[in-house]
Every structure is written in C-alpha cells, then in structure tokens.
Structure 1
C-alpha cells in the first residue's frame, strides 16, 4: 500500500507507524465481521471514523511538508496540486483544496496548546449543562477525553470561547485554523468539517478584529465536534450573517460619531451606501438564473441558481404539493423527494395557468413564507436575535424589513428564555397561531441530534389528547416524521424542561441510565444571532492592551 523504499532502514516514527498500520490492516482485513458483538460493532464504526480523520490530518501534514519542499517542481510539475493530481489520481480542485487546507492547518506548538484549552473548556462536546446532546454513543455516554470538564470558572466570550486562549489564537487570525487543526488531529472532526470551516470564515468581513476572527474559528471548530458538515455549514452561514451585521453596525456608529465630532450631518440609515450584508444579498440576487437544456431523448434538464431567500420562497410554494401521496389502499408513495418536487413544480404551473388571475395582469396570493424575528430585529437594534426563515435560512435586517413591507405579521409573545406564552386553545389539531409559536420556540425538529427545519416537522402531543392531554404549547413539540415515529413506537419519552424547552428520555435498552437529552442545533443557531461578539464591544480596551479584569460583556463560565 505504501510505496516506501528502504523503510526498514529508516527509523523515522512516521515510516514505522505507517508500516505498522499497513501490516495490521492486512492481517485483519480477512477477519469475518459476523463474529463481532453488536456493541463492539458500533464502537468500531465510531473508532474507525476517528482513526480515518487522524490519518487524514497526518496526510495533510505530509502534503504541507511536500509543498514546503517543492516536491512537485522537483519533478517538473507546475505546482504541488498538479503533482498530487497526477500521483494520487485526484480531481484538480480536490488536490488544490488539500494543499490550501494543509497550509492553514500548519500550526505551531503554542497555537496547538491554546486550541487544546479551547476544546477542553468546551467539555469535548459530550454534554451541555445537565443534558446530553445528540444520539446515544455506542460506547456509552461520557466525556470524549480525560480533559473534559477540567476547565471551569474561566472568563469566556459571548460564544463561550476562553478569553485567555483567544489572545494567543488571535495572532494566527486570518492565516491559520488552530482549533480546527487540533480537532482533526484528535480525530474529532473530519477533513470535510475543516473545509466547511475554511469556507465559512472566508465569508467574514475583511476588516473584523483579529480576536473576533479567532473567536469565530474556535466556535466553529467546537461545534464541528457536535454537528455533521452540512449542519455546520448552515451554522457558519448564520455566524457570518451575525458577524457581518455586528461589524456593519459598529462601523456605521464609528462613522456617525466621527462625523458628529467634525460638525457634519450623516444619515445613519444610509451610511456609506449599503451594509456588507446587503451587498452580499445583492450579489446573491444577481446570480439568479433558470433555464432548460434539451437532452435530445425527449427530456430536458433544468439548471439554475437562486439566492437563499428565493430558494426558500420556491421551496415553500412547492412543499404542500410535494407531500407524499399514499395510494387508496395505504401503499406508501414510491416517488423520491426530488421526483415529488419536480411533479409539484409542474402542478403549481398548471394551477397558476388554470387560475388566470394569478398570472400578469392581476395580483394573486403570494406563497406563505414564515419568518421568525423579534421586534428589535425589525427595528435593526444592535444585539437582537437574528431573523430566520422556517427553512433555517438567516435573513438580513434589510431583507426582513423589505419582506415585512407587504406581509402578514403574527405577534408571538415570549418569556425571557424565548418560550412563547401559552396560546391556550383547546383543539385536537394545532391552530395556525400555535404552529407559529411552536416554530418560534423549537425552530425545527426538537429530537436530539436532528437538524431538520421546522418546515419538515409535525406537531406532537407530549401527552396524547386521547389521554387527556391538551393542545397547548407546554404539551406540544415539533418532530420530523422519522422521530415522530421514534417517540410513538420506540420507547422515547418527552418531557417539558423547567426552561420551557423539551427534553427527551431514551428507552433503557439504548441508555440504561435514561439520561435526559436535548437538541442543541437550533438553540445554537439562535444564540449566534444574539450579539455573539460580546468581546468586540470592548475593542477599544483591546487596542489599548489586555484588560486587567474581564469586562462586563465577558461572562464567567
């Protein structure tokens, strides 16, 4: 497997280690897997993935050293990426991505130790508060390292990153990903996670403070240990939206203050002609396109590109028509999701043509796109929660105001914890008002480990109405179809926590201790929008040197 000439004569630890790995895999490759116990099998699946990630991290280190030495140019290749493409038979984009990722993961010992501190303070991602998160671990729920929980009572930023470690990490801002490098080397994330983090950080404003940039990298690296790459990408999108908004508002305030000192009059609402977030939205809208290409066999292929907002609108319009349609005898709909969406698009166009008043010349009803936002967000007040669509897409304040110009608005009163007040309707089915309140509270499937958006969920009665349960908010929870079935048929129990959010108790054959678990994905997205950069509020004191005591905006863990 490894083309290492005279490796026996080399005493380098990497040569010895790779030789041992090759030998061990060769000897175990033919072993029958049916002899594994179920718990061993589950444990090995997880252990194999962690080992794969660690080997991938080691491979990126080798790529970095090869790039540093000019291994490609030594044999006539124009670049290291071209050399990798040829030697490893990779797509050129993949090879180039590896070289670039290897460069940003090349951290020194000081940064690596600071990154270790960050992950130690995060507790290894095994639990949040008194509740476990995600699906039960096959090897048993416990901290993922001996250091978990070892760091306590440390000063942290608004995103939960230790301030002391952040000062060290900030010296690598915009150049390296130290917290990501540590997690990859420990096998807690995969290369795809690292690529997602690298792309997400590229969306941050170029002028943000180094400590804010480092805080964002640490935050994403921590949550990469808790979420899959796609969910992490969505989290990165929310983070970029929140950071851009905070950065824009701070810059706008500085311009207004400077102008007022100079005796000038500035329209704060106009600023310098647009916020960074607005320009990003305009760029996304400028990419809108749609068309058909004839395949030459009686079919055509659709192609296009839309902004996230437009995609939400289209998806909302098609969702009702794309629902599975079982046969009269109860047979499940055999069509896949993509097929149903295609059929829904055709049906939507057919209905629009049948109802001629929906086409140009008459004003028809618009699709009902649900957006959850606070009044402060609508007023563009700093530090307010983000606006988010029912599909989980972050909405910029300007886009929110534009959409609200001609939209129906439902008021949902919430307590300080974000739990909507009881609607109090006594119905077996959830009313439209209750549905809006549930979306505002749960924001998606509330089952631990699930990232499905609210649009894919159903309202579940914690205590069934047939058993005397009421159709009130404190007896309802949003669940996707799969987890709705899990709760009803597989022994899971749902309870409403003291904080007004649901917790889930696994059955004893999954977790004998039956420890309460909860979903943190949607709550993390919500937290990102609530003034995440508390440390940025003291930028002036940072420029003057590190504060002797943590500022008020920094909380003690």
Structure 2
C-alpha cells in the first residue's frame, strides 16, 4: 500500500474519533469531551499521519539537496528560490527548527546514497550495505525519520570488513524500535557500536579526553560564566557526585533509616532550585576538599562510579598495551574504553557477578526482606535501570521489587527481584499492575484487572544484555563470534 493510501486510512480513522473536524476554539472543546481512550487513539493516529508526512519531507528534502549541489551553483533548486542551502529552503517551507530541517536533509541524503547501490524497495534484493534495513523500514513506514537518523548516527560507519556485523546490529535495533523514544534508541545504538568496536571506542574517548577543557569568562555586565568539556570518565564522576546529593529531589529510593529520611525531607523542602543546589554542592566540594568527611558533603550516599564489563569479552591488548574491551557505566550504560576499565581495576579492584545463560545471578533465600547491596549490584547489571516500558530512570535511582510479594511468602531472590523506579513501583502496588515470572522465563507486566491487552514482556535496559540475550536473527554463537 502506498504512503498516500496509508495517510487516507489514518485520516478516515481520525474522523471516527469524533469532533476532530472543527476550527479554532471549537476543536479544543470538541476533543475535551472525548473519553481518555478516544483522546489517546486520536494522538496515536495523528502521530502516524505526522510520521507519514515526515517520510515525504525526508524524500523531498533528498531531491532538493540533490538538485542544489555546489556544482549547480546559482542554478540549483535552493539558490533559484533565494536560499543558500537546501536546509534553509526546507526550514522555510516546513516552518520548523533548523535541527529538524538538517535531519530531514541528512536522512534524505542517506536514502539517496543507498539508492545508488541497491534497490531498497525490493524485498528480494540482497543487502549491499549495512543500513539497507534502515532505509527499507523507513520507506515502509515501520521506522520514523527520527528513529532512522538516531540508529544510523549512533552506529556510525564501520570498517568495511564489519559491514555484516553492523547490518545485524541495525536489524536488531529496528526490531527494538517500537515504543522506544528516539533518545533511548540513539543511546542503544551507541552502546552497540562501542561493544562491537572497542578499538574505535578507545580512539573516540582519547579524542574527548584530549579535548577536555574548562573555560571561564566575565560578560559585559560583570556576570561570571563557565563552560566545561568533560572527558567521559570525569563526566561520570561529576554526575555521580550530583546524583548522590540530589537523589531525594530526583526521586531516589524510599527505603532508608529515620535519620536518612529526615535529611531527605529537609532537602525536598529546601527552597533552592535543583540548579542552585548543584551549584552550591560543587562549590562546597571545592571548598571542603580533603578536610571534610564524605557524609558532611554528600549525605547518606557517597558518590562513586560503577563500571560493568563482561569478563569473557576482554580481548588481547593492543600495541600500546591497552586492554581491548568495552565497559559500561552501571547508570545509563554509556561505554568506557578498556584503558579506563584497566585503570579502575588497578585503583579499586572489582566485584565479580556470575550469571546464568539468561542473565540471572544466584539466589540468597528469604533471610531478609530488603535486597542486599550485592544483590542490587547484580540487579543493576541484569536490568540496567527501571524495566517499565519507556522508562529511562537509571539503576541507582531504582528500588528492587519482589515479583512474589514478601508479605505473601515471596523470597528476596534475584530470580524474583526486578528494578523499578519509585514512580512505577508505587504505581504497580497502588493501581493493580502485577509483574509475574514463570521459571527462568521473561518477567511479564500484567495490566490491572479489567485492562485489555496481553501481558507485556519486560526487557533489560542493560548495556551488556547482549551477553545473555543476543539477537535471535544471528543466534548466540554467531553474534558473540562476530
């Protein structure tokens, strides 16, 4: 079915929502009387129409760019209409931001680049480059232009001999894209790239380390400003310092001692904004230096950066003696080069977490209600953060939920534990949602009684989930060997 037929079907479905064919204030009034389900359907259908339009804009932008090359000069399509670049022409037509126009042209040019070497609309044509599946998914309407751009830019360009591996990774990301926001999809793409190319990761992080800088200046009114370009490891530590101090304001775990709860309540009631608190915190850190105890500055959670690396994925060292491996931050999963992992091993050592083929660490029984710090570390490695669909809260801000409730005999076992942020943990207990698991199978999120729809399989957000959950299209052996 063609794109216009798709759009016509969506418009017809939109009309069935009722009240949408109105003008001005009448449109708001008409939609306000709809049920919540009807409004959600309306937004979903309208989003589908927008995605169809974005596809047309991307393809049109590609042709505009093709007809506005430097070689064409003043006779190019953009110049003839008084615009210096195709991006400025597309932005003028669409009325959107420059960033949107740049992306439309970039996606369109990617489609043209691939069209020169293969027929991307043919399902029987052999893949001639790794991003064929992205282009086909975009043109078929199963991938938005923003998702296409996020995956392609996140994966970057592989070495020629790795095209097949990149194609497998791209196909897996396309399969995972439904229901994932663009920022998360881009993050996963970067994680995959860094896991597949540890040597490239080492070079990228070396460049960012070489570019580290702190610049301060005073403006004409006497205001003082600063700009920091972080090295990756240092950014992780700064974020850990800030997160440790502001967790109660940002929705950290609720389970704490009375003294900790009192301190958290004081912070929540503090009239300063989060930005002001962050400024004062960093200033206090500089002033206190080595003379203050950690609790004086940071409160109940001392900052630190946890790094996760799959032990059997560590390769031989390169010519400079650097470890060839890709590690990941426990919070957020951003990649770390082997040299950073190596240095951390020398400075602070390591904690080994052994998991089975499904990513499950061992049980520790029912001796206590709360999960131990070591268990929470294992859950962080396995789950990577709140597992609720679409949630991006990192592991250090999550609470461990018993899928078999402790009050009814459930065990404090890793097999029965799963990470949820405070909001989704409270929603689950208060609104009738349930998370169940049969044996070593996936955790399944069940809707409240009366809710329509099948249970939702919950997926790990961990950057190292490939170690136990490889893409089915490649098979475990093929994926790991690649």
- Shared fold per TM-score greater than 0.5: yes
Mind listing any 5+ residue stretches in structure 1 that lack a counterpart?
Answer: 1-12, 115-164, 246-274, 359-365, 536-549
Alignment CA distance shift 1:284-1:189 (3 Å): same
Contact 1:380 1:397 in 2 (8 A): no
Verify: 1:207 aligned to 2:167, yes or no: no
Task: Map 1:455-470 to 2 at 5 A.
Answer: 455-470=396-411
State the shift of 1:234 in Å. 1.0
Cross-structure match for 2:57: 59
Distance in 1 between the 2:455 and 2:20 partners?
Answer: 42
Task: Map 1:146-185 to 2 at 5 A.
Answer: 168-169=126-127, 171-173=128-130, 177-185=131-139
State the shift of 1:282 in Å. 0.6
Cross-structure match for 2:478: 553
Return the structure number with greater helix share. 2
Alignment CA distance shift 1:401-1:425 (3 Å): farther
Cross-structure match for 1:373: 309
Cross-structure match for 1:542: none
Task: Kindly provide the CA deviation profile for residues 222-280 of structure 1, in whole angstroms up to 9, marking residues without a partner as x.
Answer: 333341111111101111112213xxxxxxxxxxxxxxxxxxxxxxxxxxxxx333212
Verify: 1:113 aligned to 2:122, yes or no: yes
Verify: 1:390 aligned to 2:314, yes or no: no
State the shift of 1:467 in Å. 4.3
State the shift of 1:197 in Å. 2.1
Task: Kindly provide the CA deviation profile for residues 280-321 of structure 1, in whole angstroms up to 9, marking residues without a partner as x.
Answer: 221121122234444666764442121333222221222221
Mind listing any 5+ residue stretches in structure 2 that lack a counterpart?
Answer: 68-75, 250-260, 296-301, 318-323
State the shift of 1:86 in Å. 4.9
Distance in 1 between the 2:77 and 2:392 partners?
Answer: 43
Match of 1:518 among 453, 457, 461: 457
Cross-structure match for 1:478: 419
Q: Count how many residue pairs are aligned between Structure 1 and Structure 2.
A: 429
SS at match of 2:370: coil
Distance in 2 between the 1:190 and 1:343 partners?
Answer: 42
Contact 2:384 2:460 in 1 (8 A): no
State the shift of 1:330 in Å. 6.1
Cross-structure match for 1:288: 212
Task: Map 1:159-308 to 2 at 5 A.
Answer: 168-169=126-127, 171-173=128-130, 177-202=131-156, 204-245=157-198, 275-294=199-218, 300-308=224-232
State the shift of 1:480 in Å. 0.7
Distance in 2 between the 1:90 and 1:410 partners?
Answer: 49
State the shift of 1:400 in Å. 1.8
Contact 1:419 1:500 in 2 (8 A): no
**Larger RCO: Structure 1 or Structure 2 (Cα < 8 Å, ≥ 6 residues apart)?**
1
Distance in 2 between the 1:493 and 1:385 partners?
Answer: 38
Cross-structure match for 2:105: 99
Alignment CA distance shift 1:442-1:356 (3 Å): closer
Distance in 2 between the 1:85 and 1:335 partners?
Answer: 39
Alignment CA distance shift 1:282-1:57 (3 Å): same
Alignment CA distance shift 1:399-1:501 (3 Å): farther
Match of 2:89 among 71, 77, 83: 83
Verify: 1:413 aligned to 2:354, yes or no: yes
Cross-structure match for 2:434: 493
Once structures 1 and 2 are overlaid, which stretch shifts more, 400-409 or 216-225? Answer: 216-225
Contact 1:377 1:387 in 2 (8 A): no
Distance in 2 between the 1:378 and 1:209 partners?
Answer: 19
Alignment CA distance shift 1:225-1:528 (3 Å): farther
Task: Kindly provide the CA deviation profile for residues 325-374 of structure 1, in whole angstroms up to 9, marking residues without a partner as x.
Answer: 6888969546665454444323433443543999xxxxxxx953222223
Distance in 2 between the 1:404 and 1:320 partners?
Answer: 23
Distance in 1 between the 2:186 and 2:408 partners?
Answer: 41
